[in-house]
C-alpha cells in the first residue's frame, strides 16, 4: 500500500460504520430496522485546490482516484465508483459549485464484514463536499445521493438503512427506522450488563452483491403477485402471514419463503424494541437467534462459517443472542455477550473457529456512537 501525500486539511470528517441489531433484509421491503452507528470510523481530510482536479487517496488502497467534475464516468475499481457516484449526484443538484480538491482517508471500519463500510465511505465523502463548498444540502438529500450512488455506480440495490444510520446515528441509541416513512424513533441502547461483539469470519463467498439483487427481485415479484388480489398492500413487510400462506401454491418456493421471512422479521424488530425498553435482554437475544434461523433457512443468505459461529454461542449461557449481520455469505455475526465473559468468549470461539475452518476470526468490541460529524473546520 502506498503512503499517501499529507496536507494541512481545511476540513476533517469522521464517518462511522453501522450495526443492525435486528431487521435484516427488510429495509427494501418497507419494514422496520434497528441500526446504530458505531465507534469504528473512516477519517477524511479535505483541502481545496487551485484547479479543477479531484485527487482522492487512502492508505488502505494502492489506486488513487484522479478525476474532474466535468468528466465523471465509472471506474473499473469498485471503491472509486462509490465516490464517483456521490460526485455525480451532488453535481446534478449543485452544478458549477464544485471545484478541485484533495481528499485523504484512513479507516478502521472492517471492509466486507457487514458494517456498511461502503455507506461510511459514501456519506463521509458527501458530507465533506457539502461542508467544503457550503452546498447546504440537507441530511435527507445526502442520504438519497449516497443510496443512488450505490445503486447506479456500485451496482448494489441497497435499501435506505445503511446511509440513514451513518448520517443520523446518535450516541448510545438505536434508531427504530420506519423504511416506509423514512423516519425514526430513538431507542436507548440499554443492554444492561451486555456488550456487542462482532465476529468477522474473514471470508466472503463472492455472492453477496449478486444474491442481494436477486433477493430484491424475488421480494418484488412476490409482492406483485399478492397485489393482484390485495392491491392495497404497498410493501411486502405489511402483508400478514395468513395472507402470504394463501399464496403458497402460487408463489415459487423462493418467493414464498422470502415473503414469510420479511413479515416475521419485521415483527421481530418491533418486539425487540419492547424488550430493549423493558431491559429483558434474554428475550431480545432469543429474537436474534430466530432472525438467524430465518436468514439461514428462509432467506438463504447465510453460510457454514456464520452458522457455526451462531450455533457455537447457543450453548453458552453468558451469550444472550447471536445472528449473522449484513448482506450475508460471509462478514460478521453480532453477539450479545455478558460483560464479565468477553475475554473468555473471544478466546473460546476464536480457537473453535480456527480448528474448524483454519481461518483466524477477528473480533470487534463495538460501542454505539454518533453518525457522521465534522471534527475540524
Q: What is the pTM assigned to this prediction?
A: 0.93
Lowest mean pLDDT among 209-213, 242-246, 275-279, 292-296: 209-213
Q: What span, in angstroms and rounded, lies between the C-alpha atoms of 305 and 345? A: 17
Catalytic choice (10, 162, 351, 360): 162
Q: Following CA atoms 82, 83, 87, 93 in sequence, which dihedral angle do they give, to the nearest 10 degrees?
A: 50
Report residue 377's pLDDT band, with 50, 70 and 90 as the boundaries.
Answer: confident
Cβ atoms of 338 and 214 within 8 Å: the answer is no
Those residues whose C-beta lies under 8 Å from the C-beta of residue 167, and which sit 6 or more positions away, are 123, 127, 139, 142, 143, 371, 372
Across 20-24, average pLDDT: 97
Cβ atoms of 91 and 52 within 8 Å: the answer is no
Residue 53 has pLDDT above 60, yes or no: yes
In a domain, 91, yes or no: yes
pLDDT in tens, 197-225: 999 999 976 555 688 889 999 999 999 99
- CA distances in angstroms from 288 to 103, 116, 364, listed in the order given: 39, 19, 18
CB burial string 7-40: b at 16+ within 10 A, e below:
eebbbbbbbbbbbbbbbbbbbbbbbbbbbbbbbb
Average pLDDT taken over every residue of the chain: 94
Cβ atoms of 200 and 110 within 8 Å: the answer is yes
162 catalytic? Reply is yes
Q: What span, in angstroms and rounded, lies between the C-alpha atoms of 175 and 139? A: 15
* 175 and 200 co-located in one domain: no
* 251 and 310 co-located in one domain: yes
Q: Where are the beta strands (DSSP E) in the chain?
A: 11-20, 32-33, 35-48, 53-58, 65-68, 101-107, 173-178, 183-188, 194-204, 319-325, 330-338, 362-366, 373-376
pLDDT number for residue 3:
58
* 154 and 17 co-located in one domain: yes
Cβ atoms of 15 and 130 within 8 Å: the answer is no
* 179 and 36 co-located in one domain: yes
* 175 and 218 co-located in one domain: no
Residue 4 has pLDDT above 70, yes or no: no
pLDDT in tens, 324-337: 998 888 999 999 99
Those residues whose C-beta lies under 8 Å from the C-beta of residue 321, and which sit 6 or more positions away, are 284, 285, 286, 287, 288, 289, 335, 336
pLDDT number for residue 341:
98
Cβ atoms of 179 and 198 within 8 Å: the answer is no
* 162 and 287 co-located in one domain: no
**How far, in whole angstroms, is CA 326 from its chain's centroid?**
6
Lowest mean pLDDT among 30-44, 146-160, 177-191, 286-300: 146-160
Q: Following CA atoms 86, 89, 93, 94 in sequence, which dihedral angle do they give, to the nearest 10 degrees?
A: 50
Q: What span, in angstroms and rounded, lies between the C-alpha atoms of 324 and 251? A: 27
* Nearest CA-CA partner of 198 in 355, 322, 316: 322
Across 270-282, average pLDDT: 97
Residue 52 has pLDDT above 90, yes or no: yes
Total domains present in the chain: 2
pLDDT number for residue 156:
80
pLDDT number for residue 1:
47
Q: Helices 342-357 and 304-313, interaxial angle, to 10°?
A: 140
* 24 and 148 co-located in one domain: yes
* 285 and 314 co-located in one domain: yes
pLDDT number for residue 154:
87
pLDDT in tens, 162-176: 999 999 999 999 999
Cβ atoms of 207 and 329 within 8 Å: the answer is yes
DSSP state letters, 89-108: HHHHHSTT----EEEEEEE-
CATH label of the domain that carries residue 346: 3.30.70.890
Q: What span, in angstroms and rounded, lies between the C-alpha atoms of 121 and 14? A: 10
Across 348-367, average pLDDT: 97
* 55 and 199 co-located in one domain: no
In a domain, 53, yes or no: yes
pLDDT in tens, 89-103: 999 999 889 999 999
164 lies in which domain range? 11-189+370-376
Q: What span, in angstroms and rounded, lies between the C-alpha atoms of 329 and 203? A: 8
* 299 and 251 co-located in one domain: yes
Across 298-303, average pLDDT: 96
Those residues whose C-beta lies under 8 Å from the C-beta of residue 246, and which sit 6 or more positions away, are none
CATH label of the domain that carries residue 158: 3.30.230.10
* 182 and 218 co-located in one domain: no
Amino acid at each position: 500500500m502506498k503512503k499517501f501525500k499529507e496536507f494541512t486539511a481545511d476540513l476533517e470528517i469522521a464517518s462511522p460504520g453501522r450495526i443492525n441489531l435486528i431487521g435484516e433484509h427488510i429495509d427494501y421491503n418497507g419494514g422496520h430496522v434497528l441500526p446504530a452507528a458505531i465507534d469504528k470510523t473512516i477519517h477524511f481530510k479535505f483541502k481545496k485546490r487551485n484547479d479543477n482536479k479531484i485527487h482522492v487517496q487512502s492508505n488502505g488502497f494502492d489506486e488513487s482516484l484522479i478525476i474532474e467534475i466535468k468528466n465523471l464516468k465509472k471506474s473499473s475499481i469498485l471503491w472509486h465508483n462509490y465516490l464517483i457516484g456521490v460526485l455525480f449526484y451532488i453535481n446534478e443538484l449543485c452544478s458549477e459549485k464544485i471545484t478541485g480538491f484533495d481528499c485523504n482517508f484512513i479507516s478502521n471500519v472492517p471492509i466486507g464484514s457487514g458494517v456498511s463500510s461502503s455507506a461510511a465511505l459514501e456519506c463521509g465523502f458527501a458530507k465533506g463536499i457539502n461542508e467544503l463548498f457550503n452546498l447546504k444540502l440537507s441530511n435527507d438529500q445526502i442520504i438519497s445521493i449516497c443510496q443512488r450512488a450505490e445503486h447506479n455506480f456500485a451496482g448494489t440495490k441497497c435499501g435506505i438503512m445503511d446511509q440513514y444510520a451513518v448520517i443520523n446515528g446518535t450516541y448510545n441509541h438505536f434508531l427504530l427506522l420506519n423504511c416506509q416513512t423514512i423516519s425514526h424513533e430513538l431507542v436507548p441502547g440499554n443492554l444492561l450488563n451486555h456488550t456487542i461483539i462482532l465476529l468477522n469470519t474473514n471470508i466472503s463467498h463472492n455472492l453477496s452483491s449478486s444474491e442481494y439483487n436477486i433477493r430484491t427481485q424475488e421480494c418484488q415479484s412476490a409482492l406483485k403477485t399478492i397485489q393482484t388480489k390485495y392491491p392495497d398492500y404497498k410493501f411486502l413487510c405489511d402483508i400478514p402471514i395468513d395472507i402470504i400462506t394463501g399464496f403458497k401454491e402460487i408463489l415459487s418456493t423462493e418467493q414464498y419463503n422470502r415473503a414469510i421471512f420479511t413479515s416475521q422479521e419485521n415483527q421481530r424488530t418491533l418486539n425487540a424494541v419492547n424488550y430493549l425498553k423493558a431491559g429483558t435482554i434474554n428475550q431480545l437475544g432469543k429474537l436474534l437467534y430466530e432472525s438467524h434461523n430465518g436468514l439461514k433457512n428462509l432467506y438463504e443468505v447465510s453460510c457454514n462459517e456464520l452458522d457455526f459461529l451462531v450455533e457455537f454461542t447457543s450453548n453458552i449461557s453468558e451469550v444472550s443472542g447471536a445472528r449473522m449481520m449484513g448482506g450475508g455469505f460471509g462478514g460478521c455475526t453480532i453477539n450479545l455477550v455478558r460483560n464479565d465473559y468477553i475475554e473468555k468468549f473471544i478466546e473460546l470461539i476464536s480457537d473453535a473457529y480456527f480448528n474448524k475452518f483454519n481461518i483466524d476470526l477477528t473480533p470487534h468490541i463495538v460501542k454505539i456512537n454518533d453518525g457522521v460529524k465534522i471534527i475540524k473546520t
